[in-house]
C-alpha cells in the first residue's frame, strides 16, 4: 500500500522531472493558447472566418509541423483546443505526446477588475473551481499549466496593490497545480506598451519578481517543480532610447539573479510583441550571459505570427505555414 507521504514524494519528483524537461537542451515552449476571442481576432486579421473549426484547423497546422519536437518541449493549448481532435481522430494532447511534446493548458480565465484599484489595472481570474479543472485537465492528458498576470508600467504603475494581488493569485494557482499534478508555468508580464526606459522596466520587473518570490514561498510552491515565464527587461515599445541585446541581457539576468530562488527549474521568456528577430537576438544574448537556471523561450506571437500570415486559411498553404513555424523555431532552438 502506498502512503500519502510516498505518493506526494513521487508526485514531487515527477513534477520536477517534467519541469526540467520543459526547459532542457535549448528547446522551449510554444504558446498556442490564445483564448477563442483573441484567436478569432487574429484569424480575422488574416481574412479567415473565426469559427471553432478554423481555430482547430490552425492549431492542427501548428502541432503537426514535422520536426517540431526538435525545438519544442511542450505546447500550451487553450481549454477549447485541449478538448478538440485532429483530423485523424486523435485528441490534441495525445497527438502532442505521440510527437514527444508535453501538452499544456492555460487555466486562467483572463483579466478582471482589481478590487480597490483603478480601471487601468487588472487582476487575473480563474481560482474558483481551479482544483476541479486541474483534475480534469490531468485526465485529458495535460502535464503542465499556464497562468498570466498582466502588469502595466507607467506613473505609479504597477501599483503595490496590483503587484501583491497578482503575485498572490499566481502563487495560489501554482500551489493548486502542483497539488493536482500539473507543472505550473508562472507568468507575471510587465507589458512593453509605453515610452519607458529600460531602467524603469528593470525596476518594475524587480519589484514584481521579488513580490512573486515571496508569495510563492509563503504558498509552499516547490521552485524545482515550476517554470517562471517573465518578460525580458526591455525599453518600452514607444521609447526614444531602445536597448540592444547586450543591455537587455545584462538587465534581465541581473533582475532574475537578484530575485529568484536558485532551485527554480528554469526560466522561459514570453515574447511580448517583439518581432521574432528581436526576440531571438535578445534571447541569444541572455543565454550568452547565462544564469544558474536553464534560460529559454515560451513564445507565442514571435513563433506563430509568420505561420498564420503564410497560411491565411488556405488548405494549399498548410505546408508554407508549417515551414514558417519551423524557421522561427530554428532561430531560437538551434
* Active centre residues (catalytic): 187, 229
Instruction: Name residues contacting ligand 13P, limited to 141-180 (CB under 6 A).
Output: 148
Of residues 37 and 89, the one with the C-beta less far from ligand 13P: 37
Cβ pair 34, 76 in contact under 8 A: no
Determine the interface stretch with ligand 13P among 84-92, 152-160, 234-242, 266-274 (rule: CB under 6 A).
266-274
Residue 78 touches ligand 13P, criterion: CB under 6 A: no
Residue 299 touches ligand 13P, criterion: CB under 6 A: yes
Of residues 12 and 35, the one with the C-beta less far from ligand 13P: 35
* From candidates 270, 278, 280, 285, binder to ligand 13P by CB under 6 A: 270
Could you tell me the smallest distance in angstroms from the CB atom of residue 6 to ligand 13P? Answer: 35
The residue whose Cβ lies closest to ligand 13P is: 300
* From candidates 19, 22, 23, 31, binder to ligand 13P by CB under 6 A: 31
Strands 266-269, 295-299: pairing is parallel
Could you tell me the smallest distance in angstroms from the CB atom of residue 36 to ligand 13P? Answer: 15
Could you tell me the smallest distance in angstroms from the CB atom of residue 300 to ligand 13P? Answer: 3
Number of other residues whose CB lies within 10 A of the CB of residue 218: 12
Of residues 272 and 291, the one with the C-beta less far from ligand 13P: 272
Residue 331 touches ligand 13P, criterion: CB under 6 A: no
Cβ pair 196, 30 in contact under 8 A: no
Residue 103 touches ligand 13P, criterion: CB under 6 A: no
Q: Which three cell numbers stand for residue 54?
A: 478554423
Determine the interface stretch with ligand 13P among 114-122, 211-219, 242-250, 299-307 (rule: CB under 6 A).
299-307
- For 240, the enclosing helix (H) or strand (E) is none
Q: What is the DSSP string of 88-157?
A: TS-BHHHHHHHTT-EEEEE----EEE-TTS-TT-EEE---TTHHHHHHHHHHHT--EEEEEEEE--BTTB
* From candidates 28, 71, 104, 272, binder to ligand 13P by CB under 6 A: 272
In the chain, where does DSSP find H-type helix? 4-22, 36-45, 52-63, 79-82, 92-98, 130-140, 160-180, 198-218, 245-259, 276-289, 301-311, 318-332
CA angle (201 as vertex; 176, 165 as ends), nearest 5: 30
**Binding footprint of ligand 13P on the chain (CB under 6 A):** 31, 148, 187, 270-272, 299-302
Amino acid at each position: 500500500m502506498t502512503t500519502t507521504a510516498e505518493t506526494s514524494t513521487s508526485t514531487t519528483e515527477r513534477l520536477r522531472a517534467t519541469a526540467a524537461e520543459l526547459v532542457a537542451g535549448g528547446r522551449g515552449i510554444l504558446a498556442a493558447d490564445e483564448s477563442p476571442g483573441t484567436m478569432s481576432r487574429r484569424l480575422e486579421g488574416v481574412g479567415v472566418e473565426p469559427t471553432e473549426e478554423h481555430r482547430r484547423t490552425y492549431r492542427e497546422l501548428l502541432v503537426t509541423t514535422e520536426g517540431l519536437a526538435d525545438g519544442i518541449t511542450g505546447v500550451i493549448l487553450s481549454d477549447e483546443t485541449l478538448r478538440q481532435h485532429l483530423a485523424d481522430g486523435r485528441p490534441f494532447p495525445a497527438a502532442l505526446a505521440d510527437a514527444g511534446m508535453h501538452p499544456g493548458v492555460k487555466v486562467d480565465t483572463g483579466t478582471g477588475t482589481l478590487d480597490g484599484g483603478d480601471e487601468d489595472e487588472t487582476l487575473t481570474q480563474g481560482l474558483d473551481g481551479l482544483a476541479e479543472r486541474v483534475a480534469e485537465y490531468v485526465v485529458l492528458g495535460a502535464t503542465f499549466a499556464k497562468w498570466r498576470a498582466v502588469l502595466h508600467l507607467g506613473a505609479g504603475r504597477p501599483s503595490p496593490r496590483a503587484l501583491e494581488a497578482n503575485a498572490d493569485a499566481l502563487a495560489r494557482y501554482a500551489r493548486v497545480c502542483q497539488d493536482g499534478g500539473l507543472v505550473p508555468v508562472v507568468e507575471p508580464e510587465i507589458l512593453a506598451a509605453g515610452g519607458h526606459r529600460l531602467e524603469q522596466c528593470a525596476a518594475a520587473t524587480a519589484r514584481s519578481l521579488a513580490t512573486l518570490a515571496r508569495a510563492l514561498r509563503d504558498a509552499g510552491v516547490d521552485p524545482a517543480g515550476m517554470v517562471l515565464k517573465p518578460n525580458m527587461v526591455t525599453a518600452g515599445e514607444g521609447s526614444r532610447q531602445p536597448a540592444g541585446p547586450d543591455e537587455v541581457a545584462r538587465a534581465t539576468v541581473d533582475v532574475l539573479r537578484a530575485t529568484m530562488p536558485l532551485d527554480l527549474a528554469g526560466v522561459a521568456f514570453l515574447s511580448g510583441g517583439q518581432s521574432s528577430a528581436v526576440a531571438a537576438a535578445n534571447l541569444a544574448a541572455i543565454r550568452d550571459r547565462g544564469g544558474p537556471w536553464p534560460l529559454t523561450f515560451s513564445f507565442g506571437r514571435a513563433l506563430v505570427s509568420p505561420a498564420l500570415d503564410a497560411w491565411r486559411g488556405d488548405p494549399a498553404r498548410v505546408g508554407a505555414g508549417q515551414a514558417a513555424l519551423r524557421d522561427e523555431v530554428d532561430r531560437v532552438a538551434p
